[in-house]
Amino acid sequence: MRRIAIFDTTLRDGEQAPGISLKPEQKLKIAKALESAGTDVIEAGFPVNSPSEKEAVKLIAREIEQSEIAVLCRPIPKEIDLCQDVLSKASKARLHLWIATSPIHMKYKLNMSPAKVMDKAISAIRYASGKFDSIQFSSEDATRSHIDFLGKLMREAARAGADVVNLADTVGCALPEHMALMTREVKKAVKDKIPVGVHCHNDLGLATSNTLSAIRAGAGQIDLTVSGVGERSGNTSFEQVVVSLLFHKKHFEVETNVKQAELGELCDLVVKEMGLRVGHSTPLIGENSFRHESGIHVHGMLNNPLTYELVNPSDLGIKGGDIVIGKHTGKAAVKHLLERNGCTLENDELTKLTELVKERSIITGPLETEKALLDFAVNNGFEVDYKRGGDLAR
């Protein structure tokens, strides 16, 4: 099994998502949860952004022991010095230098020639060399860069002292095949002497696929954010990649240091602290991810939950097992919920009650709780007698 490193950027790229701003103590809380979940590298922030960001990084660097702490930095000596200062108390400090390498970014953002970009990047790596436990060098907009230029730059970066090189799909335009091809090319360029990482965005909904494809192509590090938070449509989701790797362990033949049972708590914390709204159908952490209504599905679930769920949510520390009683409900669900409460109905009674439940749900929406179902049965003259009744849980 090949071991790959998880580089989490929830506190940097994630926090850059419009409208999000965390106080240093909030960032520390999230950093601690990331450390506890087994994250290898925590990108704590972009120190030059503000005094609060500097304070947050210092706090995290002081408190976190297991994970390496990274900070984002432009290839400018003064900024490198600042990063060295804020990371001085870190048990493991990583400088994350980056520069854009695509023609559009070099021309319209940096106003630099490719030669100038190369020079700036390599001098910065040389300047930083020896001042940190590790140096990561990233190419911004790598997926829209010329592969020959990218290869040459990464080869020189490795020679100058970079310990990891990283390829960003900054606008989320890549396909899985592109990420694999680019990863292989850059691995060749650095002669496989240092790990090649990838940083994907989700503008086409492909961030997870692209990251997994890069792993298959030999990427040694992956950038993730919890719940996929990040600029625009976000980054590669931490939980999606971790669960994909677990589910397809034999296919990927890689392992990570992540403790799967802590995923639920980690996601809940980030969502709460950042004030995020998670979509109903968001993979793994959406309200409906482990919730069922339709008769055929609930019937299968009651016999064996793996009929309609790829993983037991409790293995991930995620609450699941909800049955919704609504328009699509079948007899099995109604029977199950009655029996859980010590009630039984004859088969034709059960059929009648199920039909009434469906009718009622079409008009007024699903019954919210198990108790509501039992009350509904009693109010409609069914002979059910129950002692308890609470949440609709499996």
Query: Applying CB under 5 A, which residues contact Mn ion?
Result: 13
On whether the CB atoms of residues 33 and 262 are closer than 8 A, the answer is yes
- Residue 61: burial class (beta carbons within 10 Å; 0-12, 13-18, 19+): buried
Residue 219 or 373: the one with the smaller Cβ distance to Mn ion is: 219
Q: What are phi and psi of 68, to 5 degrees?
A: -75, 140
CA dist 193 and 313 (Å) reads 39
CB of 169 to Mn ion, least distance (A): 9
Residue 13 or 40: the one with the smaller Cβ distance to Mn ion is: 13
Residue 108 or 247: the one with the smaller Cβ distance to Mn ion is: 108
CB of 393 to Mn ion, least distance (A): 39
CB of 222 to Mn ion, least distance (A): 13
CA dist 315 and 279 (Å) reads 22
CB of 16 to Mn ion, least distance (A): 8
CB of 74 to Mn ion, least distance (A): 14
CB of 202 to Mn ion, least distance (A): 10
Residue 47 or 313: the one with the smaller Cβ distance to Mn ion is: 47
Q: Distances in Å between the alpha carbon of 300 and those of 258, 293, 294, 324?
A: 31, 11, 10, 14
Residue 13 or 68: the one with the smaller Cβ distance to Mn ion is: 13
CB of 231 to Mn ion, least distance (A): 6
Within 10 angstroms of residue 155's Cβ, the number of other Cβ atoms is 17
Quote helix, strand, coil % in the chain, to nearest 5.
Answer: 50, 15, 35
Residue 13 or 293: the one with the smaller Cβ distance to Mn ion is: 13
Residue spans of alpha helices (H) in the chain: 24-36, 51-63, 77-86, 103-105, 114-128, 147-160, 176-189, 207-216, 238-247, 249-252, 263-274, 295-303, 331-340, 347-364, 370-379
CA dist 193 and 211 (Å) reads 21
CB of 140 to Mn ion, least distance (A): 8
On whether the CB atoms of residues 131 and 80 are closer than 8 A, the answer is yes
Q: Can you read off the two tokens belonging to residue 386?
A: 């129950």
Q: Which has the closest alpha carbon to 150: 124, 182, 106, 193?
A: 182
CA dist 117 and 181 (Å) reads 23
CB of 11 to Mn ion, least distance (A): 13
Residue 17 or 316: the one with the smaller Cβ distance to Mn ion is: 17
Q: Can you read off the two tokens belonging to residue 124?
A: 């910065």
Give the residue nearest to Mn ion (CB).
Answer: 13
Residue 202 or 354: the one with the smaller Cβ distance to Mn ion is: 202
Residue 234 or 305: the one with the smaller Cβ distance to Mn ion is: 234
